Amino acid sequence: MKRLIGALCLLALAGCSGLGGGKADTSLAADNWSTPGGDIGKSHYSTLTDINAQNAAQLGLAWAADLGTGRGLEATPVVIDGVLYTSGVAGRVYAYDAATGKALWRFEPAIDMQINRTACCDMVNRGVAVAKGRVFVVTLDGWMYALDARTGAVVWKSDAIEDRKKGDNSTGAPEVAGNVVVIGNAGAEYDTRGYVSAFDIDTGKLAWRFHVVPSDPAKGPQESKALEAALKTWDPKSRWDVGGGGAPWDAINYDPLTGYVLVGTGNGGPYATSKRSPSGGDNLYLSSIVALDAKTGEMKWHYQETPGDNWDFTATSPMILTDLTVDGEKRPVVLHAPKNGFLYVLDRRDGKLLRANALVRMSWANGVDMKTGRPNLTPQFSDYTNGPKLVFPATAGARNWHPAAYDPETGLYYATIQDMGNVIYTTGGQKPYQPKMLNNDAALLFTPDLQAIVPTLPPPMQKAITSLPKWDWVKKDPGGTELRAIDPLTGKTKWAYKMGGWQDRGGALATAGGLIFQGSVDGHFRVFDKKSGKILKDIDTGTSILAAPMTYKVGGVQYVAVMAAWGGGGYPYVPPYSAAYKRGNQGRILVFKIGGGAVPIPAELPALEPAPEAPKQAPGVTPATIAEGQTLFFGNCALCHSNQLRSITPDLRRMNEGTHKLFKDIVLKGLLLPNGMPRWDDRLTEADADKIHAYLIDLQTKTRAEELEKKKRGLPLDTPGLTILANY
């Protein structure tokens, strides 16, 4: 991306990068990496060339830092004047000497771990903002902190949650936009009404707040003209109690050219439009890009990528601001590939649609009408109101939070693209609202798993699934993920590298040195020739990587850094091919340079042993008790406790004697709350906890019996089961 504009932009951005109060740097990243995306447009591109195609084979470890966590790390660090700043689990912040790895300071915020009740996708955080000598971060429980960049001391603290009776939380990186710092909320699967909040950069005072969806009109006027207009696109009898969704949990970019904050908004809540807004409608401003005046929060334009979102097609994937020549005219554009499968090019001054190209197979739409900007919906393949449908792409998205890179030299967009679908269905009727609980009321089966699952199902269920429209797509290719180099104006792939599995979606870094850097969940950090896709260096780190790498220069040496650990959406389901499954999930920062050394690889985990013997059931436990416990478990516990081998959350089929004895204290009294295990005494009674415990004792007994038989036969315990147990 070229330098955006002259003096006007510099005035608008004054003090927004670097530790001083001088002019803002609106150019591409060089020695400094001033935002999580590198530059103000977040292109994830660097002009550094010291590491290049000629010497990439000499890349090795410069330094590493163990962050003491086994949970997800998704942030891309920021480097300013030789100091590396980054965030970790739940909003912890770290500062290191970027050349040596010496720890300078660490910020451990006090966090209400009860927030894990409403954090669908791990205790992750996607980064910090650095401006005017301060480091800004938002914690999982929604507190915005301004920290002194030299010491880590708290300068101010503000509450970024509007209503703490709801399931709101925060996982994104703050965005500095002139005199304010902006953050969105998460929690649309629960009971959130999405919003973004802007705080005065000096004082922390709330400057403005923009709500993504309308409030219940029975409660009075809307907060803005934009919401009054949006209200017309919702059923008057919508599920206002649930909140509507739209949480903008990522994808917030400040554009100094226009003075607008561009925000990618989230999915609807509940997922199904038929439940959320029974008479239909576009449901503005779900799954949209909205442009807000950075000074006032007033909406200037919007573009809805998925009208009436019915599939969890969030528009929260990272955006890139750059300049492109489109139809002979050079334009300031935003590049955006959301979950829904299209790659959009919009004029960022007015939201005009310039291009919309499909990147993957789709069954929800068959293109976009370039005159109206609306997708051509195909409800016969994707409307699951009256029964299951096989929808492409899946709710996991063709793209997700994993950052892409745009290279102005090649004109290519580098990103992991996921081509797969899922069976999605919902229950009949309307479920009652559950405060701070999952209210999406939909079930999903991802296509890469269906080939293994379907043969185990009763014949009528097998027939029902394999008879769904588009099943031939599953037979041909159940789906997977590729790192691709894409022409953003045509959607055409120039080269592609097949990833290890559908959960393997690491972020990308492009450089003027002719390289693409990317990590993968198998623990490999790879360097590609950006024009051909040829692998120039492959380093086995032994740690799963999902976050995007970044690069910087200190003391005449170029470094490349990446956060490493498995986590995020679906975090309990650790892929068997991942480094986290084989070697554990030791969260680290890894920093490389030319001539560096070998990466210390964590030891392989010991072989699995059969589940411990479970205690005897309490007197009076019956099959009916166990069945009730199973229902309670899946309604309250299963999202985090998938009971998968080598999950990063406890496998409750393998509880020891002490855990069994303390089971009710853990579940009801919050005995392990500091570790992130919330208490459930507001929802579960002692009798409920006993029923869940009975179910888990029964499950552990069955698991032990099967695993002992596997061991007797000389089979690894993580081979497919000898018998099909529905509870697995």
Q: Is the peptide bond before 433 cis (omega within 30 degrees of 0)?
A: no
Catalytic residue among 122, 255, 312, 383: 312
Residue 423 tokens read as 């069976």
Which strands sit side by side in the sheet containing 195-200, from one edge to the other? 175-177, 180-184, 195-200, 206-211
Q: Give SS3 for 661.
A: helix
Q: Give SS3 for 462.
A: helix
φ/ψ bin of 555: left (φ > 0), alpha (ψ from -120 to 50), beta (otherwise): left
Which distant-in-sequence residues (6+ apart) come within 8 Å of 212 by Cβ?
193, 194, 195, 196, 244, 245, 246, 247, 248, 265, 266, 285, 286, 288, 290
Alpha helix locations (H) across 426-574?
A: 447-453, 459-466, 471-476
CB 113 within 8 A of CB 674: yes
- For this structure, is 39 an active site residue? no
CA distance 234 to 588: 45
- At residue 583, what is the residue type? R
Which distant-in-sequence residues (6+ apart) come within 8 Å of 194 by Cβ?
184, 185, 188, 211, 212, 213, 243, 244, 245, 246, 247, 248, 265, 266
Q: Is the peptide bond before 393 cis (omega within 30 degrees of 0)?
A: yes
- Looking only at Cα atoms, what is the longest distance across the chain? 79
CA distance 143 to 550: 26
CA distance 196 to 210: 5
One-character DSSP codes across 464-502: HHHTSTTHHHHHH--EEEEEEEE-TTT--EEEEEE-SST
Distances (CA, A) of 220 to 214, 223, 508, 527: 11, 9, 46, 56
- 3-state SS of 371-384? CCCCEEECHHHHCC
Q: CA torsion sign, 268 to 272 to 273 to 278?
A: negative
Residue 231 tokens read as 């209200």
Which strands sit side by side in the sheet containing 329-336, from one edge to the other? 320-326, 329-336, 342-347, 353-358
Which distant-in-sequence residues (6+ apart) come within 8 Å of 303 by Cβ?
288, 289, 344, 346, 351, 353, 373
What angle is formed at CA 402 by the lines to CA 17 and CA 338, rounded to 5 degrees? 100
Query: Of 728, 686, 682, nearest to 706 (Cα)?
Result: 728
H or E, element range at 629? helix 623-636
CA distance 124 to 402: 13
Token look-up 């005065």 returns: 200
CA distance 82 to 31: 9
Active site residues: 312
